[in-house]
């Protein structure tokens, strides 16, 4: 499905749920079966891959890239241009700068990778 607003567009794939009070900027692509919870912001030119969950109050800066099956915790922030790999978990309230490798769990401000035992 393609939604168009004011001559700008977002691409939304099958099975996507977008909660109330979200702001989605122009030129955003959201993959299949994603859940964008309430009061989230997604910056311009961002790409969200399939099966991603963005929890309440999260903010993704422009040109963000989120890999498949990633989870972005409540109230977290991805600074402009951040790239998350696949199966990344971002803890609630984390502030993410730069690139995050696949299969990582990150917490804090600035966000750092932790090891899960």
- The label of the residue with tokens 């607003």 reads 5
Of 96 and 1, the structure prediction assigns the larger pLDDT to 96
Overall CATH class of domain 2-114: mainly beta
User: How remote is the C-alpha of 52 from its chain's centroid?
Assistant: 7
Give yes or no for a contact between 46 and 63, defined as CB atoms under 8 angstroms apart.
Answer: yes
Instruction: List, for residues 18-52, the tens digit of each pLDDT value.
Output: 999 999 999 999 999 999 999 999 999 999 999 99
Quick one: pLDDT band at residue 115, thresholds 50, 70, 90? confident
What is the percent of the chain where pLDDT is above 90? 88
Q: Count the Cβ atoms, other than its own, within 10 Å of residue 71.
A: 19
For residues 38 and 46, what is the distance between their CA atoms, to the nearest angstrom?
18
Domain ranges of the chain: 2-114
């Amino acid at each position: 499905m393609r939604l168009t607003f004011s001559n700008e567009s977002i691409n939304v794939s099958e099975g996507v749920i977008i909660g109330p009070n979200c702001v989605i900027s122009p030129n955003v692509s959201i993959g299949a079966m994603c859940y964008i919870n309430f009061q989230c912001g997604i910056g311009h030119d961002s790409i969200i891959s399939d099966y991603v969950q963005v929890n309440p109050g999260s903010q993704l800066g422009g040109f963000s890239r989120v890999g498949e099956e990633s989870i972005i915790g409540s109230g977290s922030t991805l600074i402009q241009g951040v790239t998350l790999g696949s199966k990344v978990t971002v803890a609630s309230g984390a502030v993410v700068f730069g690139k995050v490798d696949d299969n990582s769990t990150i917490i804090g401000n600035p966000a750092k990778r932790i090891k899960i035992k």
